[in-house]
Amino acid sequence: MSRSQIKQTEGDSATVLSALGSKYSVEILCAADTPKSAQALSEDIEIPIATCYRRIEELVNAGLLTCEGRRLSDEGRRTNIYRRTLDEIEIDFSRHPNFHRNDGQRQKTGFKTSSRADTTG
């Protein structure tokens, strides 16, 4: 899945909300603004590596994090490198959960999106 073509359905909104609600998920997304290994993310936010891998799996399944490839670690092992797929997410609970994602290119997803103009920029 590429960073510029994230496709999701309304049924996935529960997956996204669940992933965002898990402890450390937001911290992982904040730290993954540049490509990093699970080990680097774990060290950056000071959480156990097993917890980090579980959260990474949830975030990847929700389409919020992507594996950008593999690199050789300092120990000579191949490790996956992860990066977040968005810079912003807006959730509107007024009628139906509406999502607006900003991955730097203002790309819309398959979620119902709000028609309000972004005034934060």
pLDDT at 46 (0 to 100): 97
Residue 12 within any structural domain of the chain? no
CATH code, domain with 40: 1.10.10.10
> Quick check: is 92 in a domain?
yes
In a domain, 108, yes or no: no
Residue 57 lies in a domain: yes
Q: Give Cβ neighbours of residue 102 (< 8 Å, ≥ 6 apart).
A: 86, 87, 88, 89, 118
| Stretches in the chain below the pLDDT threshold 50 | 1-11, 105-121
Q: Which domain holds residue 31?
A: 24-102
Report pLDDT for 103: 57
Q: What is the percentage of the chain residues whose pLDDT exceeds 90? A: 47
Task: Report the pLDDT value the prediction gives residue 99, as an integer from 0 to 100.
Answer: 62
DSSP secondary structure letters along 46-91? T--HHHHHHHHHHHHHTTSEEEEEEEE-TTS-EEEEEEES-SEEEE
pLDDT at 73: 80
- Give the CB-side neighbour count of residue 86, counting CA atoms within 13 A: 22
